[in-house]
Chains A and B, each alone.
Chain A
């Protein structure tokens, strides 16, 4: 807590993992393709996980229902993009963006609004009670998932990529899919915006202070409860955005996707250290890379590889790579 220098060791984990995978995969072009795919997947997971980890750091609430915002965002996107077939079908990326950007904004708004209701009705009565938080947010997720099935139906819905984002660029022998580059850019923008807000604005200062010592910030006269509701809504909206990106990545959406992605997010924020945004980024990139490398090398152990990764990191740093909460 006293030193000001940045702990850089965890930052080296991502390039270390990538370099470690190179000799195992053998072919450089395959490696490049997999690495870009892994980074893209990691960035999408980061967008989803950032809200959850902030909420935990700030209010000590772990929302097991976070996945429902992902699914909601993705389903809203199917409706919006489906209604704008003229723009998505076109091969011109600028025309695609006319459809994709509104789809993302509407998904974020809807997910944020649900986040507001979720905080009010599900989370608020159980502050400070971990056991009940886990149970009740889980219940909230079941209800949300079933309501999605009522509105959009229980079946899988295709979410095709807009024409201009399909296909790949060839760099030497490596094929780099266009959408993955888009995902990396969006993720980098979100990370930059979060980092800027947290380190350069007054709201960010209060959030960081609240994560460190909530009572002190309250006694200085700031209403941390209101701040928290804001963080919760932004976190839900980011999950909605992540849901759109994830849906486009998979090219289809199912109502259960929230629960599936939830597991990856939990692994990410455990690796990263609960409450840490930078930690979540590192965790997400590691998980994304690991999933793609093992998906290529040994498909059957892909899910285990992430758990093995989590175990390895926790053996090294039991509180995650960047522990924040000092309670």
Chain B
């Protein structure tokens, strides 16, 4: 049963299995285990990033295509919910219209980019998507009548999902259940379903063709698979998952702006998570997201301590300033590409496989 649910793609390492179970349990009971607003925010962001990154891994890890336009679809999803909810008022209809519209737009846009540029080599595609994503970001901040410009949009959601909704008179296991926690569980269910769907996709015959294309495009074409078609499908699917993740983000924050969902830093984060977790493994996205978001949320505090401790020494405080945390992430990124090419999951799996 479990094996079928995971599409027979089991962790294949006891340690990896234990970590994954701990993560799933931790996320499932996060509101009860880790009290406080910040912790719940981190947990919700983990759920959103798991979907975003696993979708990206379908493209990068399984098909071997580098796209820099993934945050564009993330942004489309978030703007879809934000714009529909602002225009139509807080209702389920607005949510459905927003998400549906965003999914259709993502589908058409990714299809257009894919058909236009996937005929050329991976390196071309990366450049073209970078340009398109930059143009889209400019567009989003310039169409201020529609997107709220740089300020973004703050909006309300249906009552069930708003923080003031409190269905129970008393606390449940010491936690007051409100709309925020209901939203969290809605995201949790969506994230689980989407990740299982992705596992299903990559372990289907379709997923195997993608891997074949990644390994040797020429041979895949020679066997008779239309490489362009498969690449385009992979890119469209990946865009749809990113769009869904964007909608989740907007629902959680009840706000969206260009920096929240479209900035290039998010693209960098996604790349880093994929590389750290392990390319070509959906589980890598889960582990990478947890590690990265915890580090991101607490690394700045650590750097602040380091910066204060080295206050007398020249240059070091500037290097350790909390504002320079991207420097350390960049360094970590380069070093992981160098020394850690298969990521956490790859490492754990090869260790388990090496044991007799």
Q: Tell me which residues across on chain B come within 8 A of A130, comparing CB atoms.
A: 121-123
- Shortest Cβ distance from B108 into chain A, in angstroms? 16
- Shortest Cβ distance from A153 into chain B, in angstroms? 9
Interface string of B326-356 (1 = CB under 8 A from A): 1101110110011001000000000000000
B229: interface (CB < 8 Å): no
Q: How many Å lie between the Cα of A307 and that of B142 in the bound state?
A: 17
The reply to whether A131 and B319 contact each other, CB–CB distance below 8 Å, is: no
Interface string of B110-121 (1 = CB under 8 A from A): 000000110111
B residues within 8 Å of A by Cβ?
60, 64, 66, 116-117, 119-124, 126-128, 130-132, 134-135, 138-139, 142, 264, 268, 271, 275, 315, 318-319, 323-324, 326-327, 329-331, 333-334, 337-338, 341
Q: How many Å lie between the Cα of A303 and that of B143 in the bound state?
A: 14
Q: Tell me which residues across on chain A come within 8 A of B331, comparing CB atoms.
A: 139, 143
A interface residues, how many (CB within 8 angstroms): 39
Query: B126, B319, B323 — which one has the most chain A CB atoms within 10 A of its CB?
Result: B126
The reply to whether A142 and B122 contact each other, CB–CB distance below 8 Å, is: no
For the complex with contacts A138-B268, A140-B330, 10 further pairs of A-B residues with Cβ separation under 8 Å are A62-B126, A130-B121, A138-B271, A143-B327, A143-B334, A147-B327, A263-B134, A266-B130, A266-B131, A267-B131
A residues within 8 Å of B by Cβ?
62, 64, 122, 125-126, 130-136, 138-140, 142-143, 146-147, 149-150, 154, 259, 262-263, 266-267, 270, 274, 300, 303-304, 306-307, 310-311, 314, 318-319
Q: Tell me which residues across on chain A come within 8 A of B268, comparing CB atoms.
A: 138, 142
Q: Can you show 12 pairs from A to B with CB atoms below 8 A apart?
A: A131-B122, A132-B337, A133-B123, A135-B333, A139-B333, A142-B330, A143-B330, A143-B331, A150-B315, A150-B319, A267-B131, A274-B124
**A139 contact from B123, B319, B337, Cβ within 8 A:** B337
Which chain A residue shows the least CB distance to B337?
A: A136
The reply to whether B337 and A62 contact each other, CB–CB distance below 8 Å, is: no
Q: How many Å lie between the Cα of A263 and that of B128 in the bound state?
A: 9
- Shortest Cβ distance from A303 into chain B, in angstroms? 5
Q: How many Å lie between the Cα of A263 and that of B116 in the bound state?
A: 18
Q: Tell me which residues across on chain B come within 8 A of A300, comparing CB atoms.
A: 142
Q: How many Å lie between the Cα of A134 and that of B275 in the bound state?
A: 12
Q: Tell me which residues across on chain A come within 8 A of B338, comparing CB atoms.
A: 125, 136
Q: Tell me which residues across on chain B come within 8 A of A136, comparing CB atoms.
A: 334, 337-338
Which chain A residue shows the least CB distance to B127?
A: A266
